[in-house]
Amino acid sequence: MSHDMQMLFLGLGLFLTLASVIAKGLQIRYQSKQQRAGQLVISSPVLENLSARIKAWWGMIIVLAMAFYFGSMGVIVLFFLVSFYALREFLTLVPTRHSDYPALFAAFYFALPMQYFLIAIDWYSLLVIFIPVYLFLLLPILAALGGDTTHYLERTSKVQWGLMIAVYCVSAIPALLLLDIDGFEGRNLLLIAWFILVVQLSDVLQYVCGKLFGKTKIAPTLSPSKTVEGFVGGILLSMGVGAAIYHLTPFSPWQAALIALLVNLLGFAGGIVMSAIKRDCKVKDWGHMIEGHGGMFDRIDSVCFAAPVFFHLVRYWWT
C-alpha cells in the first residue's frame, strides 16, 4: 500500500474505534437508566442495530484493506465476488422457470467472469459493450430456446436487469484502474478508495442524521427509515469529507465537492430504486449475509447507480 492508502485505512480504523466506544457507552448508559428506574434491563433495538452495523463495518473495512494490499488484482477479485453474491441475491429473489436455466448459467459462468477478465486484461472497447449489447441479445435467445412463453418478457427482463446492475454497474469500480490520468499515474487505487468512502459514508451519515434529527419522511412507501433531514445532513457531510480528502484524487477541492454531491445523489437514487424492487418482491432485505445491513445488495445499492456515472465522468474529463 502507498502511504496515503495506509493513512486512509488507519483513519478509518480510528473512526470505527471511536464509533465502537460511543456505541458501547450509549448501551451502558441506557441500561443504567433502566436500573435506576427499577425496570427490567433490556437492550435497545436501535443501539443493538447500531452495534451490529459497526461490527459489520469492521469486517468490511478489513476485507477492503486486504484487497487493496494485494493491489489491482486484489480489487478486481474482491468486486468479482461482490458481483457474484449480489447477482445471486437478485436472481434468487425474482421468480424463474426451468427454461431460464441456460440464461442463468450464461449470466453466472460466462458473463460475470468475462466482464472481470476484460478488466484484468485492459480491453476497454469490449468491456463497455459486452453486457449491454452482446449479453442483452444472448440471454433472451437462450431463454426462448427453452420454448416456455409464460411471462417470457418479464423473466428475461429480470435476468438482464440483474446482470446490468449487479455485474456491469459494479464492475465500473475496478474499471477505474484502466484509466490513464495525467499526473495521477499509479494512484488509481486511491481514486477507488475515495469513491467507495464517499458513497458509503453518505449512507452511514444519512442513517445517523436521520436517527438524530429525522422527522419528515422522504419516501415513506419505499424506505420508511429515510428522512429529509437525514438525506440533507448525510449528503452535505459526506460532500465535505470528499472535498477534504481531495488529495486522494486528481480533482481540485471544489471539483471533489461537486463530484461527491453527484455520486451521493445517485447513490440515494440507487437505494430508492432497489428498495422499490424489494417492496415489489415483498421482502425487507435482499439477504442476511451482513449483520445489521442485510444482504450484499443492501450494502451496495447506492454504489450500483453511482459507479458507472463516476467512471465515465472521470474518463471523459480527466483522461
What is the mean predicted confidence (pLDDT) over 284-292?
Answer: 70
User: How much is the pLDDT for 123?
Assistant: 96
Q: Which residues touch 27 (CB under 8 Å, ≥6 apart)? A: 43, 44, 47, 51
Q: Is the pLDDT of residue 292 over 70?
A: no
State how far the alpha carbon of 284 is from the alpha carbons of 50, 280, 289, in Å. Answer: 18, 10, 14
Tens of pLDDT, residue by residue over 185-219, are 989 999 999 999 999 999 888 988 888 888 899 88
Q: Is 216 left (phi over 0), alpha (psi -120 to 50) or beta?
A: beta
Closest by CA position to 94, among listed 163, 166, 158: 158
Please give the pLDDT value at position 30: 73
Cα distance between residue 146 and residue 133, in whole Å = 21
The answer for residues whose C-beta is within 8 angstroms of residue 179's C-beta and 6 or more apart is: 188, 191, 311, 314, 315, 318, 319
- Nearest C-alpha neighbor of 310 from the set 171, 205, 124: 171
Q: Which residue has the higher pLDDT, 184 or 26?
A: 184
User: For the ranges 48-52, 248-252, 273-277, 309-313, which has the lowest average pLDDT?
Assistant: 48-52
Question: Residue 120: its pLDDT value, please?
Answer: 96
Tell me the pLDDT tens digit for each residue of 92-151.
Answer: 887 778 888 999 999 999 999 999 999 999 999 999 999 999 999 999 999 999 888 888
Rounded Cα–Cα distance for residues 269 and 259 (Å): 15
pLDDT at 33 over 80: no
pLDDT band at 40 (very low <50, low <70, confident <90, very high): low
In the predicted model, what is the mean pLDDT of the chain? Answer: 89
At residue 245, the pLDDT reads 94
Per-residue pLDDT at 94: 79
Q: pLDDT tier at 159 (50, 70, 90 boundaries)? A: very high
Q: How large is the average pLDDT for residues 265-285?
A: 88
Mean pLDDT of 75-90: 94
Please report the pLDDT score of residue 42 as a whole number: 60
Amino acid type, 111: A
* Mean pLDDT confidence for 158-162: 92
DSSP class per residue in 40-68 = -----HHHHHHHHHHHHHHHHHHHHHHHH
End-to-end CA distance of the chain: 24
> What is the three-state SS of 283-294?
CCCCCCCECCCE
- pLDDT band for position 41 (cuts 50, 70, 90): low
- Phi (first) and psi of residue 238, to 5 degrees: -65, -35
Could you identify the residue written with the cell 436501535?
46
CA distance 194 to 212: 26
Q: In this structure, which amino acid lies at residue 104?
A: L
Would you give the distance in Å from CA 20 to the centre of its chain?
A: 22
Which has the minimum average pLDDT: 6-15, 48-57, 233-242?
A: 48-57
Residue 82 has pLDDT above 80, yes or no: yes
Scanning 70-176, the segments in alpha helix (DSSP H) are: 71-93, 101-106, 112-120, 124-129, 136-144, 152-163
Give me the mean pLDDT over the 36-42 stretch.
63
Average pLDDT in the 54-68 region? 89
Query: In the structure, what pLDDT confidence band is assigned to residue 70 with cuts at 50, 70 and 90?
Result: very high
